[in-house]
Amino acid sequence: MVVGDASIDIDTLVVGAGPGGYVAAIRAAQLGQKVLIVDKSELGGVCLNRGCIPSKALISAAHQYESAQHADAFGITAENVKVDFKKTQEFKNGVVKKMTQGVSGLLKGNKVEVFSGEVMFINDSEARCFNEHESPRYRFKNCILATGSRPIELKPFPFGGRILSSTEALELQEIPGSLVVIGGGYIGAELGQMFSKFGTKVTIIEGMDSVLPGFDKDMTRLVAKNMAKTGIEIVANAKAESAEQTDKNVTVKYSVNGESKEITADYLLVTVGRRPNTDGDLGLDLAGVELTDRGLVKVDHQGRTSNPKIFAIGDIVAGPALAHKASYEGKVAAEAISGLPSVVDYKAIPAVVFTDPECSSVGYTEKEAKEKGFNVKAGKFPFAGNGRATSLNQPDGFIKIVANADNNVVLGAQIVGIEASNLIAELGLAVEMGATLEDISLTIHAHPTLGEIVMETAELVEGHPIHVIAR
């Protein structure tokens, strides 16, 4: 019990219980720290509740629906295939519940104290945690900020009604007849393609010349091809300007090469990026935490801020807004607090997009490696040359490996095709450990598996491929 307004002493305060925060809290507790984690919403943060996990559950359901409709290549025909979207949403919610309950059990098992509420810093080593029932005050030896991010809201397209962020889109209780998506990045591409597979007429308005602008064009070309198969229209090099909504639809005005156009749909989904949660009433100024002009927290190689007692991780620091990046940074920060020599090294952090086909990348692209001054050699092996991919009727795609021509060390890799999200792990390990092409090609891969494509690509780059003709 606390007498009056005295502060409770703790070792580590973690602000935010997303994939960065809860991982940091668990790792800190494993290292002997007395840890309090605070979040005003659900355990698991955006990722488990309103982002990664629910979106992948709905994407999986969309794949199942499409497969049931189009299995004739296998000699399987199903009639009257229907979607009960209420049950689909129940499935998604069940997945989310299992995952968040799992996080709760992990925190409890590691003796991490959980406070449901908000945090406001009082000074550089004290903070008040509060909700509608209580407002205890804590004095911390160290703190890890993991407050995450939220969808960027554009002034011409305020969220509400039929103008949706990704959060509302994942909660729709009906399959829209039509949907306009502003932004063809990974969120817009994933959700747009998911709804399209369920039968929605989707139009993507993208400011760049293709969807998924962060990936190589030969990868995104395959995604655009599959989008066209389900009727998605991609309007590239376009500028969205305004929207007017009624209780039945929303009309979006945009321009392409100076020509004004408009389109009307049931809903408008705006996915133009995310904004760090460093504003509001956190009191970071009172804590002596410096921000950049973009609202990101300035940190060093261990995640330490301008206040040496406070660390920051995840979407509120520089770099891509990825859940696995946040988890990695959380472990580094927790270990740094415990005096371990852990530092952040981003060279092997993968990027994955759950489009159809999936795209993934790790390390350098061929262009990036050349810009860094490496003597580069690279090669692509097609999924069509793999027995497992062909037997799955998924022959589209390739794996590309980028290596240092001077010593055959793997510098990076890109994958587009079925299970690209899983296949990238082996190549991420190769980049992390400084493996060579020979390390991969001499590793016996089980047959018939998709993993063989990794081995075949390494052999191709070495110059002695088996299942394609060397050129």
189 is in an annotated binding site: yes
Same topology between domain 8-151+275-338 and domain 350-462: no
Per-residue b/e over 283-304, b at no fewer than 16 CB within 10 Å? ebeebbbebeeeebbebeebbb
Nearest-10 crossing angle of helices 323-337, 21-30: 30
Q: What percent of the chain has pLDDT over 90?
A: 95
Edge-first strand listing for the sheet containing 250-256: 238-245, 250-256, 259-265
Facing residues of 244 across strands? 251
Measured distance CA(283)–CA(292) in Å, rounded: 16
Is 273 known to sit in a ligand binding site?
Answer: yes
* Structure tokens that stand for 278 in this block: 């460093």
Query: What residue segments make up the domains of the chain, in order of their start?
Result: 8-151+275-338, 163-272, 350-462
User: Percent of the chain having pLDDT more than 70?
Assistant: 99
> How do 250-256 and 137-145 pair as beta strands?
unpaired
CA dist., res. 330 & res. 302, Å (int): 10
Using the Cα atoms of residue 36, residue 42, residue 45 and residue 48 in order, give the sign of their dihedral: positive
Tell me which CATH code domain 163-272 carries. Answer: 3.50.50.60
The answer to whether 17 and 43 have CB atoms below 8 angstroms apart is yes
**Is 188 assigned to a binding site?**
yes
Q: Kindly report, residue by residue over 360-397, the tens digit of the pLDDT.
A: 999 999 999 999 999 999 999 999 999 999 999 999 99
Neighbours of 137 (CB within 10 A): 17
Q: Using alpha carbons, select from 354, 293, 286, 342 the residue that is nearest to residue 313.
A: 342
Has residue 471 got a pLDDT over 90?
A: no
Residue 3 pLDDT class (50, 70, 90 cuts): very low
Catalytic residues: 447
Express each pLDDT in 77-110 by its tens digit. Answer: 988 999 999 999 999 999 999 999 999 999 999 9
Please give the model's pTM, rounded to 2 decimal places: 0.95
pLDDT at 443 over 80: yes
* Encoded tokens for 383: 């999924």
Residue 79 known to bind ligand: no
Does domain 350-462 match CATH 3.90.600.10? Answer: no
Residue 147 labelled as part of a binding site: yes
Q: Is 105 annotated as a binding residue?
A: no
Contact status, residue 400 vs residue 380, Cβ threshold 8 Å: yes
Q: How confident is the model at residue 470 (pLDDT cuts 50, 70, 90)?
A: confident
pLDDT exceeds cutoff 70 at 1:
no
The answer to the question of whether 319 is labelled as a binding residue is no
Q: Are 402 and 410 in contact (CB under 8 A)?
A: yes
User: pLDDT digit string (tens) for 48-85?
Assistant: 999 999 999 999 999 999 999 989 999 999 889 999 99
Q: Is the pLDDT of residue 121 over 70?
A: yes
Per CATH, which fold does 8-151+275-338 belong to?
Answer: FAD/NAD(P)-binding domain (3.50.50)
**What is the structure's pLDDT at 369?**
97
Say if residues 23 and 330 touch (Cβ distance below 8 Å): yes
Per-residue confidence at 4, pLDDT binned at 50, 70, 90?
low
373 is in an annotated binding site: no
Q: Which residues contact 356 (CB under 8 A, 6 or more apart)?
A: 63, 193, 197, 223, 226
The response to whether 186 counts as a known ligand-binding position is yes
Mean pLDDT of 145-168: 97
pLDDT, residue 331, reads: 98
Which burial class, exposed, middle or buried, applies to 463 when counting CB atoms under 10 A from its CB (0-12, 13-18, 19+)?
exposed
Mean pLDDT of all residues in 274-290:
94
183 is an annotated ligand-binding site residue: yes
Q: What is the mean pLDDT of the chain?
A: 96
Q: What tens digit of pLDDT does each residue of 246-281 get?
A: 999 999 999 999 899 999 999 999 999 999 999 988
